[in-house]
Amino acid sequence: MTAAKSSAPGMMFIALILVPWLVATWFYSADRVVWECHLDFEMLVTSSDQRVERTLGSYSQFFYGNNLGFSRISGRKVHALKNHQTQVHNFYRFMDFKYVQAGPYLKNKITKITRKQGDTLSDDQELAFMSVPGEDVYDQVLKLGPNTYSFGRLGMPRQICQGRQGWLMPRLR
C-alpha cells in the first residue's frame, strides 16, 4: 500500500514533464503540412492574329516543415481557332519542390512533375504556374495576418496561404 502511494506522485511528475514534449512533437512534426495555398484562376490570352486562349483552373501548394512540398494544378485550356472551331485540353499535374526563405522571397526549386490520367495538354504548350524541373522560382511574400500570407509571382495572380505562425516565415512576424 505504501509503495503504491509513493509511486503515484512520481508517475504524475514524469507525466507532467513528458506530455508537453509529446504534444509539441506531434504538432510540429516536420512531415506535416504546415502551410497551404489555394487559388482558382482564369486567364485569357488574345494573340495578334485574333486567336483566343482561355485557361480555367485550380492551383494549390502544400508546404511541409522539412523544406519540401508539392503543388497540384488542374483545369481546362480552350483554344478558339481561326475557323471558329475550338480545341479543349484538360490538365492534371503534380509538382514536387524544395523551398527556402530568401529574405522577403520564397525560393522554390521544382524537382519532379507528374502528369495524371486525363491530362491531354501537350508539354510544348505553356501553362500558368508551371516551371521545368531544376528551375528556381521566386515568390514574393506579404504578411496579411497572424498566420496568413500572400504569395505573388511576377505576372501571376496572388495566392492566399494559411498555416501555423512562425514556421515558414519567422522573420516576418
The per-residue pLDDT for range 145-170, each reduced to its tens digit, is 777 777 777 667 777 777 654 444 43
Handedness of CA 117, 118, 124, 130 (dihedral sign): negative
Q: Name which of 14-23, 53-62, 78-87, 114-123 the model is least confident about.
A: 14-23
CB neighbours of 45 closer than 8 A, spacing ≥ 6?
Answer: 52, 53, 54, 55
The share of the chain scoring above pLDDT 90, in percent, equals: 24
Which residues touch 26 (CB under 8 Å, ≥6 apart)? none
Cross-strand partners of 26:
none
Q: Is 147 in contact with 163 (CB distance < 8 Å)?
A: yes
- Write down the mean pLDDT value for the chain: 78
Dist CA 158 CA 149 (whole Å): 10
Mean pLDDT confidence for 78-84: 83
pLDDT above 70 for 21: no
CA gyration radius, the chain: 23
Alpha helices in 57-152, H assignment, sequence order: none
Nearest Cα to Cα of residue 71 among 113, 40, 34, 117: 113
Taking the CA atoms of residue 101, residue 105, residue 150 and residue 63 in that order, the dihedral angle to the nearest 10 degrees is -30
pLDDT at res. 74: 94
pTM for the model: 0.69
